Amino acid sequence: MYLADQAWPDLGSYFAEESLAVVPIGSTEQHGPHLPESTDHVIAEHLAREAADRAGYLCTPTVNVGVSMHHRQFHGTMSVDPPAFRDYVESMTRSLTHHGIDRVVYVNAHGGNMQHLREVGRRLREDRVAFAVEWMWDESIPDLVNELFEHNGPHGGPKETAMLQYLDGDNVHDDRLEQARDGGRVNLEDGDPTIHGARNYYDAIDNSPNGVFGDQTDATAEKGEQLFEAATEQLVALLEWLDGKPFDDLMAAPHVDPQPGSRR
């Protein structure tokens, strides 16, 4: 069920019976010469809505702009400061708790959001408001990704290219796949990302002239469909697992004995 398409009286039965919501989160940022800047939020929204529909849960509107300052040198990249992003996502999640939601899955498709969504989840759990967990689609199916592509690439590579070919092929420049590969980095390690054990770069352009990594020519819509179906299955399984857990089991364990102040 997509929240934004419903009239408020029609949502009452869901909130009376269910306490879980799916929140898709992505970015609007460069993905090389071949992919649209919508790549991450398109993937997040399609996965979130499909899994929510299959499993019978509520999906919220998508957060389309994330933490993307490391792509700022490329035209059109949008970003928000990390504290503003964290506060916004937390505030939005707390608004759902007013309707009885106490567990949330952030369906995230942008690596730059990961640590910040984890921080939001920690805050909400500390306050015993909700259990919110960040889920990254490619991390749920690593074996399949490795099986399909020799050079995955952490950004704008064949896995994202294949997903967009399947989900939004009209906005993929298939005639630029070789350009993307040859103008970027097939292997991140070739850019010497660490020197004497220290990560020596901050922005994508520091290691890739066109901002992307991997061999994009390995991508096809058929492979994208395989990725989408496999990731959706994993997400459905996560939603069902989370829904089946008692709320107290999701909260922090109590302090070990003796309890602080117990002898006062």
Distance between CA 211 and CA 233 in Å, rounded?
Answer: 31
Whether 24 maps to a domain, the answer reads yes
Distance between CA 101 and CA 52 in Å, rounded?
Answer: 15
Structural contact between residues 218 and 145, judged by C-beta atoms closer than 8 angstroms: no
Q: Are strands 103-108 and 58-59 parallel, antiparallel or unpaired?
A: unpaired
Whether 78 maps to a domain, the answer reads yes
**pLDDT-derived band at 227, boundaries 50, 70, 90:** very high
Whether 258 maps to a domain, the answer reads no
**pLDDT-derived band at 173, boundaries 50, 70, 90:** very high
Amino acid at 9: P
Structural contact between residues 68 and 78, judged by C-beta atoms closer than 8 angstroms: yes
Rg of the chain (C-alpha set): 20
Distance of CA 124 to the CA centre of its chain: 18
Q: By residue range, what is the domain housing residue 234?
A: 3-250
| pTM (two decimals) | 0.96
pLDDT tens digit sequence for 59-94 = 999 999 999 999 999 999 999 999 999 999 999 999
pLDDT tens digit sequence for 135-149 = 999 999 999 999 999
pLDDT exceeds cutoff 80 at 264: no
pLDDT exceeds cutoff 80 at 225: yes
Residue 222 pLDDT:
98
Whether 232 maps to a domain, the answer reads yes
Residue 12 pLDDT:
96
**How many C-alpha atoms does 187 have within 13 Å on its Cβ side?**
4
Distance between CA 47 and CA 63 in Å, rounded?
Answer: 14
What's the structural domain count of the chain?
Answer: 1
Whether 242 maps to a domain, the answer reads yes
pLDDT tens digit sequence for 1-51 = 999 999 999 999 999 999 999 999 999 999 999 999 999 999 999 999 999
Read off the pLDDT of each residue in 124-139 and give the average, rounded to a whole number. 98
Mean residue pLDDT of the chain comes to 96
Whether 261 maps to a domain, the answer reads no
Which domain CATH number covers 19?
3.40.50.10310
DSSP reduced 3-state for 139: helix
pLDDT exceeds cutoff 90 at 187: no
Whether 262 maps to a domain, the answer reads no
Whether 209 maps to a domain, the answer reads yes
Q: CA dist 97 to 52, 157, 189, Å? A: 18, 37, 44
